[in-house]
């Protein structure tokens, strides 16, 4: 069987005052993005940052709108001139411990970011099954600020607008707010049925893309945020549950019987 060369695709996105590069693998899997205005580098996996930076440098040097190139090898090195240019665009890759920690924070996944809350009296469950039909809640948080379902919507390079209970992606209506609200209501109903009296669940949607929020958000509406808002968002919310009550609800949430299994 012939060998299929692994490639990266780099695309430039310039809209609404933003200027970014988005890098994907040949399979379509996301590698990350580069903000050409702030220099911020976001990677799905910190180990991919070297490949992302090299791909971005090659793209910028060619001055095109889209570029497909082989995945840079682990030993690939830039010339001194190219390395200096890359540092000018994106910043140096060999920062000290504090800068490196910050860069990894920027590139970490939503799941990894949520897991950090476990050190702050939050209980984080992933892939919670809802019934026997195969539906799952991506992330369920139970802690000082209440109970939250968290879902992700991936729209890199697209403009997402939220106004009241309406959401659109590049001008086209999206049902994400309704879907998230219904999911949270279903989780709430199952917790109430499992004797978690007074349990109230709110939906959170994490958008990977350009997000614009218009108008106020009502307390019962889903929260729509971007990845860099997690986990700080949950630390800033007002307290609603005591530690013992959050722990008790989390124990119920970990039981398969709670979710109809």
The tens digit of pLDDT for each residue in 215-256 reads 887 877 899 998 888 988 999 899 999 889 999 999 999 999
What is residue 206's predicted lDDT score, i.e. its pLDDT?
94
Using DSSP, state whether 245 is helix, strand or coil: helix
Using DSSP, state whether 249 is helix, strand or coil: helix
What is residue 103's predicted lDDT score, i.e. its pLDDT?
45
- Flag whether 165 is in a domain: yes
Q: Which two tokens stand for residue 72?
A: 């840079």
Domain match, 151 and 248 both: yes
End-to-end Cα separation, the chain, in angstroms:
44
Domain match, 131 and 227 both: yes
Q: Which two tokens stand for residue 9?
A: 């695709």
Domain match, 115 and 229 both: yes
Instruction: State yes or no: pLDDT of 102 exceeds 70.
Output: no
Given 87, 107, 127, the domain boundary residue is: 107
Domain count, the chain: 2
What is residue 50's predicted lDDT score, i.e. its pLDDT?
77
Confidence bin at 16 (pLDDT 50/70/90) = low
What is residue 90's predicted lDDT score, i.e. its pLDDT?
52
Share of the chain above pLDDT 70, in %: 80
Share of the chain above pLDDT 90, in %: 37
Angle at 230 between CA 173 and CA 124, to 5 degrees: 105
Domain match, 125 and 234 both: yes
Domain match, 70 and 115 both: no
Q: Domain limits at 179?
A: 110-259
Q: Of 135 and 173, which is predicted with more confidence?
A: 173
The length of the chain, given as a count of residues: 261
| Residue 103 burial (CB count, 10 A) | 19
- The enclosing domain of 117 has a CATH number of 3.40.1350
Instruction: State yes or no: pLDDT of 101 exceeds 80.
Output: no
Say if CB 217 and CB 164 are below 8 A apart: no
Domain match, 31 and 102 both: yes
Cα dist. 256→48, 118, 125, 146, 148 in Å?
A: 36, 21, 12, 21, 18
Say if pTM beats, i.e. exceeds, 0.75. Answer: no
Quote the radius of gyration of the chain (alpha carbons, Å): 21
Q: Which two tokens stand for residue 200?
A: 């109230």
Average pLDDT, rounded, for the chain: 81
- Flag whether 2 is in a domain: no
Instruction: State yes or no: pLDDT of 119 exceeds 70.
Output: yes
Longest dimension (CA), the chain: 66
Domain match, 39 and 103 both: yes
């Amino acid at each position: 069987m012939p060998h299929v060369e692994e490639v990266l695709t780099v695309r430039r996105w310039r809209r609404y005052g933003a200027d970014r590069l988005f890098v994907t693998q040949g399979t379509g899997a996301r590698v990350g993005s580069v903000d050409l205005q702030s220099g911020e580098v976001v990677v799905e996996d910190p180990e991919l940052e070297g490949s992302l930076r090299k791909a971005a440098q090659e793209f910028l040097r060619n001055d095109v709108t889209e570029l497909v190139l082989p995945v840079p090898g682990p030993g690939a090195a830039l010339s001194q001139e190219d390395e200096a240019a890359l540092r000018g665009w994106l910043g140096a890759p060999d920062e000290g411990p504090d800068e490196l920690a910050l860069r990894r924070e920027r590139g970490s996944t939503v799941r990894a970011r949520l897991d950090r809350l476990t050190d702050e009296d939050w209980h984080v469950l992933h892939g919670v099954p809802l019934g026997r039909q195969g539906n799952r809640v991506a992330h369920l948080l139970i802690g000082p600020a209440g109970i939250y379902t968290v879902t992700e919507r991936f729209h890199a390079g697209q403009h997402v607008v939220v106004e009241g209970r309406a959401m659109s992606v590049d001008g086209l209506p999206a049902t994400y707010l309704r879907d998230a609200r219904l999911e949270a209501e279903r989780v709430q109903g199952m917790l109430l049925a499992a004797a978690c009296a007074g349990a109230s669940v709110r939906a959170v949607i994490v958008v990977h893309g350009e997000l614009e929020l218009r108008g106020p958000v009502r307390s019962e509406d889903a929260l729509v945020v971007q990845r860099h808002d997690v986990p700080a968002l949950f630390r800033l919310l007002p307290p609603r549950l005591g530690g013992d009550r959050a722990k008790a609800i989390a124990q119920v949430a970990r039981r398969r019987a709670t979710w109809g299994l």
